[in-house]
Structure 1
Amino acid sequence: MDPASRALMQTLPLGVRDTYAARSEHSNVPISTLVHRRNGRRSREEQAQRQQYLNREEEKALVQFLLLMSNLGHPVRIKFIRLLAYSIARQRSTKTQPIKPPGKNWPKAFAERHPELQARKVKSIDWKRHENNVYGKIVEWFDIIGQVLQDPAVLPENVYNMDETGVMLSMLGSVKVLVGKDDRRNYRGGGVKRTMITAVECVSADGRALLPLIVWPASTHRSNWTTHETPGWHYAHSENGYNDSKINLEWLTRVFDPQTRARANGKPRVLICDGFGSHETLEILEFCLTNNIILCRLPSHTSHKLQPCDVGPFAPLKTAYRDQVERLNRGGIDIVGKEHFTYLYSPARDTALTKRNIRAGWAATGLYPFNPERVLKDIPRPPVEVIFPEATLASTSAADIVLQTPITPVTPVTAEALTSLHNVIKQDTNVPDETRGRIQKLANAAQISFAERALLKDRNRFLFKINNEAKARRSTRSIVLGKAKVMSFEDLEEAKVRRAEKDKAVAQKGQRGRKRKEPALEVLPPSNKVARTGGVIASDNSPATSWKIPVAKMY
């Protein structure tokens, strides 16, 4: 509300005559402004709002909707905000001109008018890893791992985290370059090799990195893959280049244990790893139990928050490796093969796996120093269920109840009708100024409700459409339609019809079929054959001795 409107609504002190001059003196608003406002002239702020695509209350409703969708894990893209604004404006029936969507620059101006909103880039993440679904798991993890790390026998130098990371041989990213002002090309030449090589890394809480194990995507080892000297490294191979239970056991016995046993000196070693199935085989558990290794498994779908390797050194490691590929590319080598990997990965490890980066990963996951709030502060807590007390009826006598006929006014069902009713009330001179302020607040709340209803109706319509499409997919049975290499849509539709007719014919044939009569049991004539029962030979005419299976007695 502008200052002139507030000045007209405020109450003057006792003994002061209600004049424009008195109100101007108490509010420091010019008399001419008060006169114009009383006669219905709008303020500059209100005139500017009338030129906006949405009014103030409708924009408030849109802001609340955007914040709600963001809290639910489904933030709205900026390109779709124009459609939401159009949905709100469409529920206002205008007779002068048809409603059109706002301009392409409207979302930017809308964000500038509301500082509680911020435009940013977000990446897609598995819904199971979203903060709304992992809060309870993370709290339980810190309760368990806290008891392990607070043991006086467990030292930071004996706490390790192991994880695998996939390194693509050659995939250059986007970089900033200096070129000629007339050069319009937005690309550069470079070889692409999408072969993925797995590196098994292990870091300690005091900032050390163990020597790695490299898994080649191959069935054999080749001599030209290890021309660069890497003493102490280990190499394995698998068909897909991924780690498996056998390789993981070899890493535990030939890499982890020899490099950590002497430093532990008989004290327990803690090994934190993710919940991948190959990390928890029976052989691995037996080896850990025998060698005083405490194996701690992270909760599912929480490694992006709790794994020190993922949070700390792996991102700098990938960046350093790409820098090495860039360096090799500048030297004239376009295609990077397996024979180049150790030559590139070794200096990248030296650059990225520093004590600072490793300890930063442990600190960011809240383990060393132990601080669960370091992780939990960025995760919204799940909503607490509110339990409302049961309503109690006040004891009233029948004489106190007076039945009255309610007077139901005409309720506005559109924003335009609400605005018309509000204008009629404002033109009524018998309405006190204090009541006008309350009516204005009520009108603002009603406009917000109308805007929220429009957004929710549009959202429900969209979800209804998606649900109907999903019904069609779920109701279609997966059957074989053909074995041709290429089939058109029309061929597939014809195959569906033929298959449906065939299934219908088979079903009808099964209903018309008769059941066969079971043949009568034949009565065999008595025979004189002998039967062996419990080692006693008896004929059919003689009484048979009962035979029992011998049972071993338990003492």
Structure 2
Amino acid sequence: MQPIEAALESLKSLKPGESPNYTATAKNYGCNRSTLSKRHRRVQGTRAEQYENQRYLTEEQSRTLIAYINKLTARSLPPSNQMLRNFAKEIRHAEKRPGNHWPERWRKRYAKDIMYAYATGIDKGRKAADSAFKYTLYFELMQRKIQEYEVEAEDMYNMDEKGVLLGILQEGKRYFSWRKYEEDGLKQRLQDGNREWITSIGCVCADGTCLSPSLIYQAVSGKIQDTWLQDFDLKEQYCYFTSSPSGWTNDKIGYTWLVNVFNRETKAKARQRYRLLIIDDYS
């Protein structure tokens, strides 16, 4: 037992109404008189109690954060230091985020549950989904349907969207769940969504042509800013611009794209093809 703890135990034996002699007790047990007095009067707690009171997150809140890191690791979205501070702020419902050095102290305390490592490599789960057999089966089925219904190349389109994180992404360390990291080798870092996003929509035809691109900016107001279109030449280029609060597509944007981009441009292309067929017939 430490001297201060022994001195406190001796003070517990005082009779009701008896005043403690902090100086004599401290000298007898070889501890600091001021500390003994504060501890006995409950003005000051133990170092462990002081540390617990000064912690940004309680034990329960930290376990909530660890559970969230495990979930993000399983989704190939290991958080960064900045994200960890954001999550801690939300869990605590605080006005300010913890300091820049808080993540380091926190991860040392929970080193058995989480790890901090570079997000490199390939997601094993995604690699397992890369099946040559499934690809072959898909294209064989596609080919049979094309022949069955006599679908022309100019009538086949493929549309996809791609989210782009504005700014420069550099290799950096992330927080991983130890269990998922060791069992599944989940090391790949996806876009964390913690910055501003812009989504591009592209549509390519099987005949080698493509439709005009579309860009979705992130804007809560739903308006397009002039600065976003500085390098856009209205005379030489055509592009569909819009915005959404998240910077991603939604039902309204998807419908508008079908009407104003896909439907309009494919109809114009079909009319042009029809005119060429007439010219060929007359020639």
Larger Rg: 1
- TM-score of the superposition, structure 1-length normalised? 0.21
Q: Counting strand residues as a fraction of each chain, which structure ranks higher?
A: 2
- TM-score of the superposition, structure 2-length normalised? 0.38
